[in-house]
Structure 1
Amino acid sequence: MNTVKTTAVPHLTGNYAPVMDELTTHELTVTGAIPPELTGWYLRNGPNPHEANTGHWFLGDGMVHGIRLAGGKATSYRNRWVRTSTFTHSARRVDERGNFDFTAGLANTHVVRHAGRTLALVETSFPYELSSAPGHELDTVGPYDFDGRLRTAMTAHPKTCPITGELHFFGAGAPSDTFLNYHRANADGELVISRPIEGPKPTMMHDFYLTEQHVVFMDLPAVLNLEMAANDDVMPYKWQPEYGARLGVLRRDDPYGAVRWFEIDPCYVFHTVNAHEEADGQRLVLHGVRYAKLTDGVGLAEPSYLCRWTVDLVSGSVREEQLDNRVVEFPRLDDRLAGLAARYGHVSETPNPETSQFTGAVHRYDLRDGTVSSHLFAPGRFPGEAAFAPADDRPGGPGWLMTFVYDAATDRSDLVILDAENLAKPPTAVVHLPRRVPVGFHGSWLPDA
């Protein structure tokens, strides 16, 4: 048995419930044909509390699930907890003197690769490096602080510039001495820029935007509450629309310069799709998934829709548009176009909190003409985030979408590979897994080359 019975709270039941063991399985059964171009690992991270009990879905220990593809086969599956100091010896984030331990995190949100290192991420601590050594894949190496240069937390959503290879990221919120810290590592993994940015109050910053010439931060009205922060079992943020909402624009060629702030209507954005520049860099176009509001403790009581913000750097104005009425989340694109004018964005349909109903689907939005193509899964089959895996070396060209799909009838999961350019077609391949993969957050296709 790989499932534990838990208390009857939504984030510990059904496919949200944790699995309680680590497996390594070889030569998985496949329906269809795995494209021979796919050689590497599909990895996905998510909360999986090793004590099977947390006060919020976001607060479980990180567990990374990985599928190895090579030679047209699914050669192995393995899952491993990320063994942070919190996991191994219940390290406290703040000691008796008020000092913060940035190794004491959950590493449960994302998994990316930069400069040859595979990093498990959460926005409140240092990254944790995972092994890629044969036979030890996904084992925890330890916390990674860029050779001692990183002294704040790191967002779970860093952006790699496809032109320079630089990794852009930030750290925000308590216990930092500053409102926001912007960081940049070069293509070799050396942290070369770290600068504080002053602001009014610590807020929950989860994601941000990157363009060719700018970085765009989101200061939104999920405000840190110190009384709530004293409780390790809650998300310590209160929804305060009176705080306001704004976008902060920083020029990449002047990383220590002033941040220019633009007010927008109060909302929350966990995840961005992409951003790019128009009009010779005088206009920024941002796509993201917008919630009208959250509830205290980061409750998701409102549906989330794909939206576009257009920031006019000349007039100082921002125009906001809702692009569709589907309730969606977990947007992804061809990462080789991050910060450039990518035509397509991919999202997964999620339950409408007003009705608790949704269709298991992955959607491909044409961000130029507004059309949508979709893959609809059979009733009772529910996809997670769909990561893009390119078919060749042409950014924006053909490729596949990879997602774990849960089957409620069998209580098992599959890795489903879809043709991104022909979503309505049956899956290119379905890799049948030896277990259920709980609902999780984000992942990456990490090719060998």
Structure 2
Amino acid sequence: MTEGTALPLYLKGRFAPVPEEHSAFDLTVRGTLPPELDGRYLRNGPNPLPGEDDGHWFTGPGMLHGIRLREGRAEWYRNRWIRTREREGHPFVREDGTFDLTATPGNTHVIRHADTVLALCEAGFPYRVTPALETVGPYDFGGRLTTAMTAHPKEDPVTGELHLFGTGFAPPYLTYHRVTAEGELVDSRPIEVPGPTMTHDFAITGHHIVWMDLPVVFRPGPAGRGGMPYQWDDGYGARHLPSTEAGPEQWLERSTLRDWVWEALEELSPALRLQLVLRHFTTHVTSYERIAAAYGIPVGTVRSRLTQGRTKLAAALAGTADTAHGDTARRTLDSRTQARETLAAAESGHFGALLTERWSPEVALFRGGDRVGGRDLLVRAMDGDIAAGVRQRLVQAIAGRSLAVWEMDIVNPADDPGHCPPAVAWLMTLDATGRVHRLRLFHPQPLRALELLPAL
């Protein structure tokens, strides 16, 4: 801007951007801070660089402000620009017309999920920052996020899962994503909408995800003139998503924690119930081939049972619609806690004691369709892995009255990266008291070492 140019309102007075980064410690407190306030209070927003005008209230590089509160004290304040690729001069639209989802201002929101702090801007990837607000870099959930991410994700207060979506300027225009409480993106699916709209926010309930698809549509022309690239379009119309019309398979796919679906599943035979759960609720054991390998049965049998299961599920859903349903969300949350406690017991040398306390004394360990041992073999195998430096990290837990599934990532020691396969699923059936009495350990990518299990 030249001298004498009238400053727009968003660049002057109380709205003026902060021109420098600051750090301050042991802040003065007027009055009293409740000692229960323990954490960081963070905010994010556009903050143009000194001497620059990005043309709109909502544009300009993001700046984080934070205050650390603890034991009635304000320990520090600091503000930091988010070092994004856009701030470094990289264009959002490349020369070949593709989009660089890392070249965003990162200027809209900030969240913490699974001990990861993310600065958000709905046009692209989030940026990870440290608890001290220093930029780490763009974050794509280990390569699993391939769309932009909304600046307004929603965390389920019961399951701890993070629900989010991404919008695109080309199909798919809207994509739904689900992230586990542990921070792994495990579900992505396109949502059909007629065109690229400004889907700024959405809502979740105990059983539904709701979008409002409204007629504020993407138009690239205004962006080229320094304006916002969205305009009202009377011809687009408005709609509420998703539709409530769904058959049994869609119901199963979309409603992983709806109590009546699980109540209906419990009405099926164990063989049908277990394979439906693996197919529709797990992350790594969903293919026909992996289900067949997990249970030691032909792929054709899996296909047949899934077909039977879906048919019987439709009848079971109708038959249980008016009955009392168990709290599946609470069961799943409890199972997740039990999984973490089980891993903690293993790492502290108390795995055997925990099995004695919580599992059936007649617990049987299976590989495929064969019983290979019981409690003693399981304890020896786990203790051996821990001694070798192997650790498991919970990815997802699901549970009903009669079964539970824990999906784990495996972290091998640096000097023996192939000691174990990279993942394992604990497939458990429960007795009438809720204790594990049958366990299958299935590695989605088995190694030859698994063949040695009966000899351990």
Q: Structure 1-normalised TM-score?
A: 0.52
Q: Does 1:147 align with 2:142?
A: yes
- In the TM superposition, residue 141 of structure 1 has moved relative to its aligned partner by 0.4
Rate the CA distance shift 1:7–1:86 in 2: closer, same or farther, 3 A.
Answer: farther
Q: Does 1:241 align with 2:241?
A: no
Distance 1:250 1:181 in 2: 16
Note if contact 1:126-1:153 (Cα within 8 Å) is conserved in structure 2.
yes
Specify the alignment match of 1:398 in structure 2: none
The letter for the 1-side match of 2:28 is T
Distance 1:67 1:28 in 2: 9
- In the TM superposition, residue 15 of structure 1 has moved relative to its aligned partner by 1.9
Number of aligned residue pairs: give it. Answer: 249
Rate the CA distance shift 1:198–1:10 in 2: closer, same or farther, 3 A.
Answer: same
- In the TM superposition, residue 228 of structure 1 has moved relative to its aligned partner by 2.3
Specify the alignment match of 2:314 in structure 1: none
Deviations 1:354-402 (A, max 9, x none): xxxxxxxxxxxxxxxxxxxxxxxxxxxxxxxxxxxxxxxxxxxxxxxxx
Distance 2:141 2:218 in 1: 27
Specify the alignment match of 1:54 in structure 2: 54
SS at match of 1:32: coil
The letter for the 2-side match of 1:105 is T
Deviations 1:388-421 (A, max 9, x none): xxxxxxxxxxxxxxxxxxxxxxxxxxxxxxxxxx
Structure ranking higher in helix proportion: 2
The letter for the 1-side match of 2:241 is G
Deviations 1:417-446 (A, max 9, x none): xxxxxxxxxxxxxxxxxxxxxxxxxxxxxx
Distance 2:154 2:35 in 1: 28
Note if contact 2:147-2:168 (Cα within 8 Å) is conserved in structure 1.
no
SS at match of 2:86: helix
Distance 2:130 2:224 in 1: 34
Distance 2:248 2:127 in 1: 26
The letter for the 1-side match of 2:146 is R
Specify the alignment match of 1:106 in structure 2: 105
Match for 2:219 among 225, 228, 231?
225
SS at match of 2:242: strand
More relative contact order, 1 or 2 (CA 8 Å, 6+ apart): 1
Match for 1:163 among 148, 158, 165?
158
Distance 2:103 2:198 in 1: 18
The letter for the 1-side match of 2:106 is A
Q: Does 1:199 align with 2:193?
A: yes
SS at match of 1:11: helix
Structure 1 unmatched ranges of 5 or more = 259-276, 278-449
Distance 1:129 1:83 in 2: 10
Distance 1:5 1:143 in 2: 39
Deviations 1:179-200 (A, max 9, x none): 2011011111111111112221
Distance 1:254 1:202 in 2: 28
Specify the alignment match of 1:85 in structure 2: 85
SS at match of 1:30: coil
The letter for the 2-side match of 1:188 is E
Rate the CA distance shift 1:36–1:145 in 2: closer, same or farther, 3 A.
Answer: same
Rate the CA distance shift 1:219–1:9 in 2: closer, same or farther, 3 A.
Answer: same
Deviations 1:98-123 (A, max 9, x none): 12111001111110011110000010
Rate the CA distance shift 1:212–1:91 in 2: closer, same or farther, 3 A.
Answer: same
Note if contact 1:184-1:194 (Cα within 8 Å) is conserved in structure 2.
yes
Specify the alignment match of 1:66 in structure 2: 66
Distance 1:5 1:78 in 2: 33
Q: Structure 2-normalised TM-score?
A: 0.52
The letter for the 2-side match of 1:241 is D
SS at match of 2:98: coil
- In the TM superposition, residue 229 of structure 1 has moved relative to its aligned partner by 3.8
SS at match of 2:209: strand
Distance 2:249 2:68 in 1: 42
Note if contact 2:193-2:213 (Cα within 8 Å) is conserved in structure 1.
no
SS at match of 1:218: strand
Deviations 1:250-280 (A, max 9, x none): 68x999949xxxxxxxxxxxxxxxxxx9xxx
Distance 1:254 1:18 in 2: 53
The letter for the 2-side match of 1:109 is T
Distance 1:170 1:148 in 2: 16
SS at match of 2:58: helix
Deviations 1:59-84 (A, max 9, x none): 11100000111110111100000100
- In the TM superposition, residue 202 of structure 1 has moved relative to its aligned partner by 0.6
Note if contact 2:216-2:231 (Cα within 8 Å) is conserved in structure 1.
yes
Distance 2:243 2:43 in 1: 31
Rate the CA distance shift 1:254–1:181 in 2: closer, same or farther, 3 A.
Answer: farther
Deviations 1:17-52 (A, max 9, x none): 111100000111111100000111000000001143
Specify the alignment match of 2:8 in structure 1: 9
The letter for the 1-side match of 2:184 is E
Distance 2:6 2:121 in 1: 25
Task: Please say which structure displays the higher CA radius of gyration.
Answer: 2
Note if contact 1:250-1:257 (Cα within 8 Å) is conserved in structure 2.
no
The letter for the 2-side match of 1:17 is A
Note if contact 1:122-1:155 (Cα within 8 Å) is conserved in structure 2.
yes
